[in-house]
């Protein structure tokens, strides 16, 4: 790492002098976190809201997140304007109404200046700081390619901000830190960079990962994206491990029944197993519903005939679409076989 340049804050910009052609009038909501704090779940929640409202809006998880990190770090390491130009180009090329993820904290002023007026900024964070740090450390060990300056893997590919990029320490001193201390700095710095931008936006809110199951939080997210009449269903995605204790108490009996026989070995090694397992579980669960036996398994999951019929309709639609896709795949394989035999 070369000697870092620049200030100790985010990339500095002069929004008043930016050409109007540089403004992305579509991007209106930016949700930023550290990663391992619920970003994928929030992206899914907001996309669910957009799909239900039917206006063609889109939300995406980690749009160019690694590219933003890489360009920012290279800009701080080299001082070359081409990296700052790359950041602005990525902002201008964004075709989404909402982006969610990490990677945005150090370039937030550029994102805000390059977006529509009155952009909404959501600071998403994991209130349990120690749990977030531990999860980030584990993630860096499992996926080292995304953690230059954090991973000791010989072939990581993407830079991530460090204290050296903000002149808070030297590159040599940074390398001597423990992995936990590096991610403790990363957790705190990400929060500081986001909060430093709260006065630059039309709306700023903070949301914790731990509150995402709350209906009030889901309603708040819908209101923030301009869809007050839509309340998305709870979502929990991208967990490194499954802990039934993290599921609300009234959902645990169902989840235990659904997941208790899931074979992780087969899940990892057999491509067809997930479809086989979950379809069989749905069929079994629906049978319990129709026979009136579900109350003994999970009293909170008793459904009316109309609700069961709607579930059957949805699954039938998935199966029918799957049949069509499978027919296309089988045709491709038949044509390859004929070609090889010819």
CATH number, domain of 95, equals 3.40.50
Residue 186: pLDDT above 60? yes
Residue 82 in any domain: the answer is yes
Whole-number Å distance between alpha carbons of 231 and 220: 9
Q: How far is CA 308 from the centre of its chain?
A: 31
Highest mean pLDDT of the ranges 17-21, 184-188, 215-219 = 184-188
pTM of the model: 0.75
Pair (297, 185) in one structural domain:
no
Residue 143: pLDDT above 90? no
Pair (220, 252) in one structural domain:
no
Residue 333: pLDDT above 80? yes
Whole-number Å distance between alpha carbons of 149 and 147: 6
Pair (280, 204) in one structural domain:
no
294-323 pLDDT tens trace: 988 888 999 999 999 999 999 999 999 999
Residue 297 DSSP SS3: helix
Pair (174, 292) in one structural domain:
no
Sorting pLDDT into bands at 50, 70 and 90, what band is 117? confident
Whole-number Å distance between alpha carbons of 12 and 24: 18
Domain boundaries, position 192? 15-224
Whole-number Å distance between alpha carbons of 320 and 181: 51
Pair (99, 127) in one structural domain:
yes
Pair (270, 312) in one structural domain:
yes
Number of domains in the chain: 2
pLDDT the model gives residue 6: 35
Pair (119, 65) in one structural domain:
yes
pLDDT the model gives residue 229: 86
Residue 125 DSSP SS3: strand
Task: Say if CB 257 and CB 298 are below 8 A apart.
Answer: yes
Pair (67, 141) in one structural domain:
yes
The tokens for 276 are 């086989």
The residue among 19 and 324 whose pLDDT is bigger is: 324
Residue 8: pLDDT above 90? no
Whole-number Å distance between alpha carbons of 203 and 39: 19
Region 101-115 average pLDDT: 94
The residue among 55 and 145 whose pLDDT is bigger is: 55
Give the rounded percent of residues in the chain with a pLDDT score beyond 90.
Answer: 67
Residue 299 in any domain: the answer is yes
75-92 pLDDT tens trace: 999 999 999 999 999 999
Region 162-172 average pLDDT: 96
Task: Mean pLDDT check: name the lowest of 123-132, 227-236, 272-281.
Answer: 227-236
Angle at which helices 305-341 and 273-290 cross, to 10°: 160
Sorting pLDDT into bands at 50, 70 and 90, what band is 1? very low
16-60 pLDDT tens trace: 444 444 666 799 999 999 999 999 889 989 999 999 888 999 999
Q: Which residues 6+ apart lie within 8 Å of 160 measured at CB?
A: 69, 73, 146, 147, 148, 149, 150, 186
Per-chain mean pLDDT for the chain: 88
Virtual torsion, Cα 181, 185, 191, 196, nearest 10 deg? 170
């Amino acid at each position: 790492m070369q000697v870092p340049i620049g200030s100790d804050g985010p990339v500095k910009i002069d929004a008043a002098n930016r050409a109007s052609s540089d403004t992305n009038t579509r991007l209106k909501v930016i949700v930023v976190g550290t990663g391992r704090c619920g970003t994928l779940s929030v992206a899914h929640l907001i996309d669910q809201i957009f799909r239900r409202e039917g206006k063609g809006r889109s939300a995406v998880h980690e749009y160019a997140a690694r590219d933003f990190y890489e360009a920012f770090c290279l800009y701080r390491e080299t001082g070359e304007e081409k990296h700052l130009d790359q950041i602005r180009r990525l902002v201008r090329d964004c075709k989404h109404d909402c982006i969610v993820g990490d990677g945005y904290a150090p370039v937030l002023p550029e994102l805000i200046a390059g977006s529509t007026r009155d952009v909404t900024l959501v600071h998403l964070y994991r209130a349990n700081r120690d749990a977030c740090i531990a999860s980030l450390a584990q993630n860096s060990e499992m996926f080292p390619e995304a953690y230059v300056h954090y991973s000791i893997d010989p072939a990581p590919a993407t830079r991530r901000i460090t204290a050296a990029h903000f002149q808070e320490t030297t590159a040599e001193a940074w390398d001597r830190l423990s992995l936990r201390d590096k991610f403790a700095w990363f957790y705190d710095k990400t929060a500081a960079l986001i909060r430093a931008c709260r006065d630059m936006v039309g709306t700023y809110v903070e949301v914790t990962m731990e509150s995402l199951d709350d209906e009030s939080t889901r309603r708040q997210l819908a209101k923030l994206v301009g869809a007050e009449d839509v309340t998305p269903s709870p979502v929990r995605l991208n967990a490194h491990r499954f802990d039934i204790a993290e599921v609300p108490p009234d959902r645990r009996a169902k989840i235990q029944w659904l997941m208790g026989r899931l074979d992780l070995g087969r899940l990892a090694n057999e491509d067809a197993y997930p479809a086989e397992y979950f379809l069989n579980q749905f069929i079994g669960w629906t049978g319990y519903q129709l026979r009136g036996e579900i109350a003994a398994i999970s009293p909170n999951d008793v459904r009316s005939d109309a609700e069961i019929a709607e579930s059957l309709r949805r699954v039938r639609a998935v199966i029918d679409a799957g049949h069509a896709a499978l027919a296309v795949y089988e045709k491709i394989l038949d044509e390859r076989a004929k070609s090889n035999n010819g």
